[in-house]
Amino acid sequence: MATNWQELANKSQYQTAVAVRDKLAHEEIEDAATGLEELIESLSRSDQRALRSQLLRLMAHIIKWKTQPERRSRGWAVSIESARIEIEDLLDLEPSLKPKAPSLLTELFDKAKRLAEKEMGQKAEVTELTEAEVFEDEYDI
């Protein structure tokens, strides 16, 4: 029976790995290789989604920080630092994502701004965020 590797990998990476192991045990090398390729693609997509999610959260908090200085709080500072730590950990675990981060800042800016504006209930006048603002600047109370 042929395995629908894409469907399986989208459903469960663990089950995909088990199915690959089983195919190897039965010496179904070509099918196992196909499953392994699909598992690799699935893992890559998962890491990219995690990076995008954390960057979006980080940028939205920085936009709020810049737009509403009177409402700055330790909670906002902690959220910014928390997102940076998550991104740093993700990039340490998956260095191949590092080159993608700068272009994602541009790609995700409008979405981050929309999120921040929705949360604040007002328009943000921030028109862009630099890499330094996102990854290096200090945000402390």
C-alpha distances (whole Å) from 10 to each of 7, 14, 29, 99 are 5, 10, 21, 25
Q: Give the residues of the chain that fall short of pLDDT 70.
A: 1
Name the residue ranges covered by the structural domains of the chain: 5-135
C-alpha distances (whole Å) from 65 to each of 9, 23, 43, 57 are 39, 52, 33, 12
29/40 Cα distance (integer angstroms)? 16
61/138 Cα distance (integer angstroms)? 13
Using one digit for the tens of pLDDT, what is the confidence trace for 116-128?
Answer: 999 999 999 999 9
What is the structure's pLDDT at 16?
A: 85
What is the structure's pLDDT at 50?
A: 92
63/51 Cα distance (integer angstroms)? 18
Say if residues 59 and 109 touch (Cβ distance below 8 Å): yes
Averaged pLDDT score across all residues of the chain:
92
51/139 Cα distance (integer angstroms)? 21
Whole-structure pTM over 0.85, yes or no? no
User: How many distinct helices (H) and strands (E) make up the chain?
Assistant: 6, 0
What is the structure's pLDDT at 46?
A: 83
Tokens (6 digits) for 130: 């630099």
Question: Sign of dihedral through CA atoms 103, 104, 105, 109?
Answer: positive
